[in-house]
Amino acid sequence: MEKLAVRGRPREFDPDEALASALRVFWTKGYDGASLTDLTEAMGITRPSLYAAFGNKEALFKRALDLYQAEKLAYVQSALEAPTARGVAERMLDGTIDNITSECPGCLGVIATVSCSNQDSPIRDDVYARVQSARCAIVDRMQRAIDEGDFTIPVEAEAMTRYLLALLQGISVQAGSGASRDELESVAQAALAIWPGR
């Protein structure tokens, strides 16, 4: 039996490790701020290797966002399963603080959303679709909480979702600006102290 020749050289890097390195670059610099040189140096690969393994910068960013969601945002599903709306808020706040005080301060989701204000951004539609999906899941959970009588005052699911997201984004921005974990936890405790329900 005749062996077929394999074209090209085998990869000399671990794609998973390279993707994790790219995630850290995007997390610290954002999509627009991360140059191809930044990415290839952090990933330990050449530009042709980046293109061969991941496609272009946009495709690499989307794969990095997939990794971010899988690894860094796993707490969101747990939060949505909390028995009360206050429990949802508490788990979301705790998970966000754990995430944003890890190796890279700030939240990649907030960084990506801010960088997508440009209508021509190649990642805009993907980032907004991800944000919308998460927001809709929270709205649905808040509506269930309203239906179950979790709130002590009349509220709307959309308004409570926007309030919670504003808290999470504000904490993320503060972390990116250097706020300590203790300071962020104080903000979370204050928010939970005035949460309008159980």
| 101 — pLDDT class (breaks 50, 70, 90) | confident
Q: What is the pLDDT of residue 29?
A: 84
Q: What is the pLDDT of residue 99?
A: 86
Burial class (CB in 10 A: 0-12, 13-18, 19+), 135: middle
Q: What is the pLDDT of residue 2?
A: 47
Instruction: Give me the mean pLDDT over the 4-27 stretch.
Output: 76
d(CA 117, CA 183): 29
Q: What is the pLDDT of residue 112?
A: 60
Which tokens is 134 given?
């998460």
d(CA 178, CA 159): 29
Handedness of CA 140, 145, 146, 147 (dihedral sign): positive
Question: Is 60 exceeded by the pLDDT of residue 4?
Answer: no
| 197 — pLDDT class (breaks 50, 70, 90) | confident
Cα 136 from chain centre: 16
Secondary structure class of 80 (helix, strand, coil) = helix
